[in-house]
Amino acid sequence: MMVETRRTCWVYSPGGHLTELERATAGIRFTDLYHVTFASGRAPAPGERIHLICHPRRRPGRTLLNLAQSLRVLLKERPALILSTGADVAVPTLILGRLLGAEVVFVETGGTLEPSLTGRLVYPFCHLFVVPWPEKLAAFPRAVLASGPLL
């Protein structure tokens, strides 16, 4: 098992995006991990650090609130590494995190062969962009085709 000791942020929408992130990082133990997501009814595991932020839902006011909350969390936690599988809730954290010096890794969704909106928005800010299907490499030429744990 690999061990990641840097302060790491997982930012994701609950449900399938979280499942994809867990699958992508299987085999990696994180010693300093926190989560950024929106309320979903899922109870956090004991000892899990979770920051709940506004789900933007493509609405300008909610997106601005998400942006402010994301910045507050980033300034408080100061992650060295940010991992995400999307979706919209993750965009401000990924972009602001990169601007604040974090290493940004995005795993494009495997749910469709089309490039996701989140992927298209965050691609220019990512240090590592991972795609699950060769068909997505045309849309993301700097991407890496997935094969095992990410880090």
DSSP code per residue over 92-147 = HHHHHHHHTT-EEEEE--SS-SSPPHHHHHHGGG-SEEEESSGGGGGT-TT-EE--
140: left (phi over 0), alpha (psi -120 to 50) or beta: beta
The torsion of the CA quartet 130, 78, 30, 35, rounded to 10 degrees, works out to -80
Q: What is 2-145's CATH topology?
A: Rossmann fold (3.40.50)
- Rg, Å, the chain Cα set: 14
Q: Where in the chain are the domains?
A: 2-145
pTM of the predicted model, to two decimals? 0.94
Q: pLDDT tens digits for 54-113? A: 999 989 999 999 999 999 999 999 999 999 999 999 999 999 999 999 999 999 998 889
pLDDT at 45 exceeding the cut of 90: no
Structure tokens at 23: 């699958």
DSSP 7: -
Q: Residue 40 and residue 54: Cα distance in Å, rounded? A: 11
Q: Would you tell me the crossing angle of helices 60-77 and 91-99 to the nearest 10 degrees?
A: 40
